[in-house]
Amino acid sequence: MNTAQAPQTLQVRCCIVGGGPAGMMLGLLLARQGVEVLVLEKHADFLRDFRGDTIHPSTLEVMHDLGLLDEFLARPHQQTQTVSLVVGGVPLTLGDFSHLPTHCKFIAFMPQWEFLDFLADHAREYPSFKLRMQAEVTDLIEEQGRVTGVRVSTPEGLLEVKADLLVAADGRRSVVREKAGLEVLDVGAPMDVLWMRVSKHPGDPSQLLGRIEAGQMLVMIDRGDYWQCAYLIAKGSLERIKQEGLPAFHQKLARIAPFLGDRLEELGAWDDIKLLTVAVDRLKQWYRPGLLCIGDAAHAMSPAGGVGINLAIQDAVATANILGPLLKHGPVDAEQLALVQKRREWPTRMTQRLQVLLQNRLITPLLNSTQPVSPPWLIRWLAQQPLFRRIPARLVGIGFRPEHVR
């Protein structure tokens, strides 16, 4: 006798897979428009370390559009108005956000779980919004060449969700895009990143600080009582670094950031250091009938500039602007899904092009270098020019095509 329990079935207008920044923002925006939306998140909560925590001025503009900016900024966060580097011991200020034509002229650093909880809290105010945690998508449901839903594993058992539109916002390792067979174009990334946290002491520098020495690059983000540190390594080199031993790694960190020397023993095991495998890629086509990919599921970004979250948010805003009014009345066709890709592909390509240029011209030669480094005189001169500082600030803070909530 077959005792297998039949899966529960749900029907919604839009099902979003992934409760990250893109998925939660899209869920909120569609619910505001009265679209019935269900967000599926495979984890039990949003509490995970070393996710991207940068909230750029373009995203803060979206919060202003929603009338939520003051409430949002009341949550714990830090702010920086400049992007600074120390290259071979020479301090350089390469970006100044204070002149941006935005309400917030700074980058905010907020733990991603705070950001996602904030979006979820406000989305729940709309009766058309539902969020299911511990809901892991295992497969697609397809009918006559159209994606019509997903199969989901939950603690209560199997679930089938049927939807007029399925949105994949489940990150750079997207199960949905893999099951959909969408073609991925690998743009290339020559490095990986080691994430770690080290306590912050009074008298430490306070601004966003990149430190560059021969063969080394360390980015330090001020999180109040600790530094969130990103140490760049050549792709695939972690095992070699581990073989050299943890004390040797401590010495590397002490050379590039001497003021951390008295607290590196806080990194007492390799488990305290997390590997981020960097990928830079994008889908050739972001959609299939019944399915749209956004955020990292459509385009994985390099951590350079910390712009991945903000591009994902812009994707969500564009998707809601273009598809929201249509979804209220039923399914959308592939031509309408193509409008989202058309709107967002150019800023994605341009951002990745800049990231690859930075990787190939700066990061790769730096990681392979054994000689002392010093900033070229032109860079030193440009870093002293206020007008020059506005260019990187605009590219990082606003990007190529900022979106606004309609």
DSSP characters over 215-230: TEEEEEEE-SSEEEEE
User: Which pLDDT value is given to residue 53?
Assistant: 80
Distance (Å, rounded) from C-alpha 34 to C-alpha 288? 24
Per-residue pLDDT at 208: 62
Closest by CA to 263, choosing from 306, 287, 305, 227, is 227
pLDDT at 2: 44
Give the chain's length: 406
State the CB neighbour count (10 A cutoff) for residue 38.
21
What sign results for the dihedral spanned by CA atoms 345, 348, 353, 356? negative
pLDDT given at position 35: 97
Measured distance CA(122)–CA(118) in Å, rounded: 6
| Parallel/antiparallel/unpaired status of strands 291-293 and 157-168 | parallel
CA dihedral 182, 123, 97, 304 (to 10 degrees): -30
pTM of the prediction? 0.91
| Residue 50: per-residue pLDDT | 53
How many Å apart are CA 31 and CA 37, to the nearest integer? 7
Strand (E) or helix (H) holding 70: helix 69-73
pLDDT < 50: residue spans in the chain:
1-3
User: Rounded CA gap, 318 and 341, in Å?
Assistant: 9
Percent of residues, the chain, with pLDDT higher than 90: 62
Q: What is the pLDDT of residue 3?
A: 46
Q: What is the pLDDT of residue 221?
A: 82
Q: What is the pLDDT of residues 108-147, one digit of tens each?
A: 988 889 999 999 999 999 999 999 999 999 999 999 999 9
Closest of 339, 309, 321 to residue 35, by C-alpha? 321
